[in-house]
């Protein structure tokens, strides 16, 4: 991905409606939102820090369209942001992200994955209000958050995930989630949106889980593995079912990790699960390189709407591994770099507004080719006007 402007973010922010009355309005909303993004790009982790920092850099006032003699105080950010229409803010930022992606020439694989997962904001609660829980969608390959919705205390991630799919065009994408969202209604919504799924299956879908587990379990545990494998192959050959296995070995950080994913179409004709084309078994075996001591062994089962012709076992293994992009390239960055969980912001929609703007800052960095986030923040902290230039 080449370094480029972030597709006029400031212009897009101007479309967010201002909840304040026009009389007495001193600071344009678009300028305040843009200043927050610039501050985040320069390493400021809260609007309180940001307000003090901005006054040390008077050049930002004119560059971002402020007309008052000074940039806003922290109380102004607090008063305004907790009154914003968060649904419109999220919709505007999603529109900016999708338009920017469409304008860039980005090399991606044939199977474009989209990870959906939730994150609870650590200190965004009081005795009477529970922590803010947000459900986000992130592109696997790019690590760019494209949409986010709050999960209220009266519901859970399942209905919110369906609404998240409606926030933008997901056609042609492969949706990955954790096992909680492996639900019939969610899978049908994915298919209706002309997308596909590759999902883990656990005991919350008891019958489906047991069917897949029983399929891959040895018929006779006393037989050698090669005998059992031949029996499994013959079982598929007898009914013309597709069977494929792919193994990947990684040697890193003193550990040897072997990942094996086996796909089967044997259950396809015997289930009414929406769109199911293949089931899989995904095993991870890890051992210490120096001592050969086994560090861990994990087995996961799953389903996909991708047929064998569209996705091989290697493709599905890659999709499942890349699902963790949402943790590594979004949630971890927001916690470790932007210190989101340390924030005590909890009034109204303030936590969600700040999370959305952190997502935007991360997207700006990735759109402009920065892969080392901390180094990029240090660069912009030294020259804040560079951060202004890439969002205008």
Name the DSSP class of 202. Answer: -
Tell me the per-residue pLDDT of 82-111, one tens digit each, with 9 for 90 and over: 999 999 999 999 999 999 988 876 655 689
| Residue 257, beta-bridge partner list | 250, 286
One-character DSSP codes across 321-359? HHTTHHIIIIIHHHHHTT-GGG----STTHHHHHHHHHH
Closest CA relative to residue 383, chosen from 69, 64, 60, 70? 60
- State both tokens at 308: 């064998």
* Block residue for tokens 């969202």: 181
Total Cβ atoms within 10 A of residue 106:
14
Structure confidence at residue 1 (pLDDT): 42
CA distance linking residue 207 with residue 230, whole number of Å: 27
With a CB cutoff of 8 Å and minimum separation 6, the contacts of 145 are 97, 136, 137, 138, 330, 359, 362, 363
With a CB cutoff of 8 Å and minimum separation 6, the contacts of 224 are none
**Is residue 68 predicted with pLDDT exceeding 70?**
yes
Total Cβ atoms within 10 A of residue 10:
19
Structure confidence at residue 311 (pLDDT): 97
Tell me the per-residue pLDDT of 341-374, one tens digit each, with 9 for 90 and over: 888 887 889 999 999 999 999 999 999 999 899 9
Q: Where are the domains of the chain?
A: 9-100+348-391, 200-314
Please provide the average confidence, as pLDDT, over all residues in the chain.
90
Residues in the chain: 392
User: Would you place residue 291 in the very low, low, confident or very high pLDDT band (cuts 50, 70, 90)?
Assistant: confident
Q: Do residues 187 and 275 touch, judged by C-beta distance below 8 A?
A: yes
With a CB cutoff of 8 Å and minimum separation 6, the contacts of 172 are 112, 194, 195
Strands 173-176 and 145-150, by their bridges, are unpaired
Single pTM value for the model: 0.91
User: Would you place residue 124 in the very low, low, confident or very high pLDDT band (cuts 50, 70, 90)?
Assistant: low
Give every strand in the sheet of 112-120, ordered side by side: 145-150, 133-139, 112-120, 173-176, 196-201, 294-304, 278-288, 255-264, 243-252
Tell me the per-residue pLDDT of 8-30, one tens digit each, with 9 for 90 and over: 899 999 999 999 988 878 999 99
């Amino acid at each position: 991905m080449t370094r480029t402007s972030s597709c006029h973010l400031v212009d897009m922010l101007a479309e967010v409606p201002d909840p304040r009355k026009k009389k007495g309005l001193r600071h344009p909303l678009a300028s305040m939102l843009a200043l927050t993004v610039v501050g985040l790009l320069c390493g400021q982790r809260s609007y309180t820090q940001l307000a003090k920092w901005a006054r040390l850099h008077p050049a930002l006032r004119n560059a971002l369209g402020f007309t008052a003699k000074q940039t806003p105080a922290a109380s102004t950010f607090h008063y305004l942001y907790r009154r914003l229409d968060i649904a419109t803010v999220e919709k505007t930022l999603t529109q900016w992200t999708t338009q920017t992606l469409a304008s860039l020439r980005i090399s991606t694989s044939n199977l474009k994955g989209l990870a959906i997962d939730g994150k609870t904001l650590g200190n965004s609660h009081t005795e009477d209000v529970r922590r803010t829980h947000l459900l986000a969608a992130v592109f696997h390959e790019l690590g760019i958050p494209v949409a986010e919705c709050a999960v209220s205390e009266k519901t859970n991630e399942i209905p919110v995930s369906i609404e998240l799919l409606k926030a933008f065009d997901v056609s042609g994408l492969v949706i990955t989630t954790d096992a909680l969202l492996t639900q019939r209604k969610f899978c049908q919504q994915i298919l209706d949106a002309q997308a596909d799924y590759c999902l883990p299956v656990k005991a919350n879908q008891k019958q489906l889980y047991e069917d897949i587990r029983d399929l891959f379990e040895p018929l006779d545990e006393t037989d050698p593995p090669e005998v059992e494998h031949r029996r499994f192959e013959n079982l598929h050959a007898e009914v013309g079912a597709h069977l494929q296995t792919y193994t990947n070995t990684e040697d890193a950080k003193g550990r040897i990790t072997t990942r094996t994913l086996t796909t089967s179409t044997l259950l396809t004709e015997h289930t009414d699960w929406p769109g199911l084309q293949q089931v899989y078994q995904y095993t991870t075996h890890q051992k210490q390189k120096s001592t050969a001591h086994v560090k861990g062994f994990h087995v996961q089962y799953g389903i996909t709407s991708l047929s064998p012709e569209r996705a091989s076992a290697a493709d599905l293994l890659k999709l499942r591994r890349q699902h963790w992009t949402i943790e590594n390239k979004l949630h971890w960055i927001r916690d470790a770099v932007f210190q989101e969980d340390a924030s005590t912001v909890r009034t109204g929609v303030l936590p969600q507004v700040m999370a959305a703007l952190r997502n935007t800052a991360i997207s700006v960095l990735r759109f402009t080719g920065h892969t080392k986030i901390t180094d990029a923040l240090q660069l912009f902290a030294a020259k804040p006007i560079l951060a202004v230039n890439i969002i205008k």
